[in-house]
Amino acid sequence: MTLKNKLGISDEMQLAHEEERISKLAALRLYRDGTLDELVPGTFSTLRAIHVALFGDIYDFAGKVRTVNLAKGNFRFVSALYLDAAIKSIESMPQGDFDKIVEKYVEMNVAHPFREGNGRSGRIWLDHLFRSELHLTVDWSRIGRDD
């Protein structure tokens, strides 16, 4: 089933292609125009802003916390019932060193706050945390999808 979208696309493959194209251009703008540098690292409001920037032209639910339960394969993400509490808890986690940042990122990934687009938004959020806290960046081209 294809997600309802602003593009009027009903073909799943076509939607995936357009979603990737549009979100990558939007991500590039976030970095190039300095918008990302104005956001507070490690906050849910920053993750939300990233999600809206990437997917706001595609989905009405961009930036909105999901209200449905999600699973990928046999893995179930945080129940929608507990999602707000989980987000608050994750947001308060420390982020002063590499291990703490990774732990915070993993917990946010397990929460999976949005209906779609958590991976792309989360990677930018993580990269923003690394750049802000440790002056490091991730070269995602060297990391395989399964890794």
pLDDT by position in tens, the chain (length 147): 789 999 999 999 999 999 999 999 999 999 999 999 999 999 999 999 999 999 999 999 999 999 999 999 999 999 999 999 999 999 999 999 999 999 999 999 999 999 999 999 999 999 999 999 999 988 888 888 777
Residue 45 near residue 98, CB atoms below 8 Å: no
Count how many domains the chain has.
Answer: 1
- The domain in which residue 109 lies consists of 12-142
- Domain assignment present for 1: no
Residues in CB range of 42: below 8 A, 6 or more apart: 91, 93, 95, 101, 104, 129, 132, 133
- Domain assignment present for 4: no
- Domain assignment present for 2: no
* CATH number where 71 lies: 1.10.3290.10
pTM over the 0.85 mark: yes
